Amino acid sequence: MNVGIVLASGQGKRMKAKKNKVLLELQGKPLIYYTIKSFEECNEVDLIALVCKPVEKDFFQGIIEKYKFNKIKYLIDGGQERQDSAYNAVFYLEKALPKKEENILLFHNGANPFVTEEEINRSIQTAKKYGACVVAHSTKDTVKEVNEEGLVIKTLERKKLWNMQTPQTIEFELAKKAFGQAREDNFIGTDDVSLVERLGDPVKVIEGSEFNFKITTPIDLELAEIIFKNNQ
């Protein structure tokens, strides 16, 4: 079973909005609508688990009912940090999913509305082969490592650098091990697959569209509006 885990409990401080950024309107609909729609319409996704703040469950339940998102089977309480929210989803699903099936979890930011069906499908197939994978963009800018004084230590080799996006897709048993071990060690990773990396397991990077980016700031939201208008 392939499960889309849509993480929508972030605070979105950099958006400087007075509410959860995934509830901000984009082309007359909440941002989260477009993210969920991508997974709802993907034939390879069997069900969706939406992770949100307990106090916002009514908002999200209203969106689910209004837009008839039939694949959303679980509304799961988010945690203090993103990793806590993903952890909650993994161990909630441990009790809910069929035990004898091969289960694949796709962790996806609620604020990444432009993910495509092709990216979702490739993520599922790649995770089945390698155990874990992540959609990413190859870095275009020159990246330098600097010290605490802001002085350049070295220039990193650009062709080896990738900017991580979502979905970040992990086979279920591996996800349980990775998130469980991180919790036990009080380790906070920079993203989901970093928890797999620290176990020594492989993570395959697959290149995604440049449109699949996380809406974080007001400028990102303006860019999203332009993308939608140009693709109508």
* pLDDT for position 5: 98
Average pLDDT per consecutive 10 residues, the chain (232 residues; last block may be shorter) = 94 73 91 97 98 95 97 96 96 89 95 96 98 96 96 96 97 97 97 97 96 92 89 70
Write down the pLDDT at residue 113.
95
Q: Residue 228: what pLDDT? A: 85
Domain count, the chain: 1
**Structural domain boundaries enclosing 195:** 2-230
Q: Taking the model in full, what pTM does it have?
A: 0.95
pLDDT of residue 12: 66
Check which CATH number belongs to the domain holding 192 and give it: 3.90.550.10
Distance CA 17, CA 59 (A): 16
Beta-bridge mates of residue 144: 155
